[in-house]
Structures are given as structure tokens and as C-alpha cells.
Amino acid sequence: MTDQPLYLTTREVAELLRVKERKVYDLAAAGEIPHRRITGKLLFPAGEIETWIAGGGEPADRAAPDVLTGSHDPLLDWAILESGSGLATRWNGSLNGLDVFAAGEAAAAGLHVRDDDGWNLRTVGARGLSNCVLIAWATRSRGLILAPALAGDIRGIADLRGRRVVLRQPGAGAAALFDALLTKAGMTRDDIIVAQSLARTETDAAAAVSAGEADAAMGIAASARQYHLAFAPLLEERFDLLIDRRAYFTPSFQRLLAFTRTDAFRSKAANMDGYDVGELGSVRWLSP
């Protein structure tokens, strides 16, 4: 395989393997042959194909599925559907999502994990990940979503003593943050009344308070506004997207990212309380 271009076409690979082009497409779809999809065209890295053939046709690293996991974000959730990206979602919390991403079971993960000196960077860097990039999505106003009758009565974590609070699921960034803020206030979960069910998304947290299941929940300003609830801001947090480098260039993610540059997206973000998307798309971290 000398004197040939860096990338081979489907026809060239078929001729090399002495199979029909349809078979090459099938191998690529199953992730069983090294390939790239660039501007919608299927191409095959010549060097990787040579290694793949020399290895007896062992399966190549499977591409991560078009799934976005991790923490829930209402603006992101809306954009995924509105853009027609085709991405599936698996909202299971920042830390759980990071595990799913690291296992190759999702192409991206939404994260808002508080580090000692910021958000997400130390947590992601400590995982030893490769072939991925962390990009900014939004800065969000994080605080306490409150029943309207409690507006003004609860201004911080210490005011939750004896109140009914709906918690987030273990592995969620909001759950870890809430426990840290409780500790800082000199409190434990024994000082609050824990609601029976868990809130697994930002929307679930607001819905639980709206339904009278709890007096308060850790949440974001946008969700409080959606359900016409009171809100006590506590801090500004970064919500980032950790994306597999190969998946970043797939039609699904490119369609989503292109949509974030439209007037429709900017208008939606401006109308949702507590969002700043001024840095959306900027690279926050690159894997080694």
C-alpha cells in the first residue's frame, strides 16, 4: 500500500478487499473497519486500513453511539429536538454521565461539576480520557427553586432547616453541590425533610415543587420561571459538553452546533432566565 493518498474511497477499499462496495458500507456501519465521515462522505484512512488488514480484520474501535448523556439542561434538551439533530438523550447526572461516556456508551456528556477552582476541568482531566474535547455550552444561575409562598423567607441553604426538600439522584452534579453547601452551612440531610422521590432532571426538580411535593429544590433559574416559582440564586455555574472527537464531526453534532448559531436559538436563550451563552462552542479542554 505505497504511493497512495492518505484516505481511500469506498470503491478503492472494496477493490483492495475484493468485495462489493455494499459490504464496505456494512462494515463501516457496524464499526468493524476504520473510517471517517467527513462532510457527509465516507473515507478510509489508508494507514489504519493497512494495520486493520495486517491484524486479520479485527474489529476497529467502535464509534460511540449518537447519545448525549450526563446532566440535563433545558436549553440543550430543546435545541437537540428543535435542530433535528437525531441525537438520543440519557439524562443521568454529571458523574454518572462521565462514567457512561468513558465506557464508550455515549458520544457526549453534559457536565456541571464544581472543582476546587472552577467547573469541570479538574474532574474531566483526572479521568485519563483520550480523543475528546470539552466545549462551553452555557453559564447558568443555580440556586433554590421555591414554592411561591416562601419567596423572601428562604434566601440560602441555612433557611432550609426543617423544610421539605426534593433531592437530586446520586451522581448528579446538583446533588454533590447541594451536599457541599449543606456542609458549608454546618448542616446535614438530617436537618431537612427529604421528599420521598428524587428529581432526575432540572425540569423534574421544578415540577416537584410546583406539585407541592416539596418546599424547595436545588435547581436553575430557567426551570423556576417555567413553572412560575420563586427562586433564590446562590451561584453561577458552568455547563459544558464533553464530546468524542470523532462524534464532533458527525452530522448529528454538526447540525446541533449549527443550530446554536441561529436567531431562533439566540432568542430562546435570551428568553430563559439565568443563561449566558456568550462562550458557547469555545474549547475549554482538549484531551492529550
Q: What is the pLDDT of residue 120?
A: 97
User: b/e string for 171-181 if b means 16 or more Cβ within 10 A?
Assistant: bbbbbbbbbeb
Would you kindly state where each structural domain of the chain is located, as residue ranges?
7-54, 63-288
Q: What is the pLDDT of residue 23?
A: 85
Q: What is the pLDDT of residue 43?
A: 86
Fold of 7-54: Arc Repressor Mutant, subunit A (1.10.10)
132-146 and 230-244 as β-strands: parallel, antiparallel, unpaired?
A: antiparallel
Model pTM score: 0.78
Q: Please, what are the averages of pLDDT over each run of 10 residues along the chain (288 residues)?
A: 70 86 82 77 82 65 85 97 96 95 94 94 93 96 97 95 96 94 97 95 97 97 97 97 92 95 97 96 92
Q: Are 50 and 60 in contact (CB under 8 A)?
A: no
DSSP 8-class letter at 57: S
Q: Which CATH number fits domain 63-288: 3.40.50.2000, 3.40.50.300, 3.30.960.10, 3.40.190.290?
A: 3.40.190.290
Q: What is the pLDDT of residue 102?
A: 92
Q: Are 166 and 214 in contact (CB under 8 A)?
A: yes
Q: What is the pLDDT of residue 173?
A: 93
Distances, alpha carbon 199 to alpha carbons 71, 74, 105, 175, 209, in Å: 12, 14, 23, 10, 10
Q: What is the pLDDT of residue 1?
A: 41
Q: Tell me if 7-54 shares its fold with 63-288.
A: no
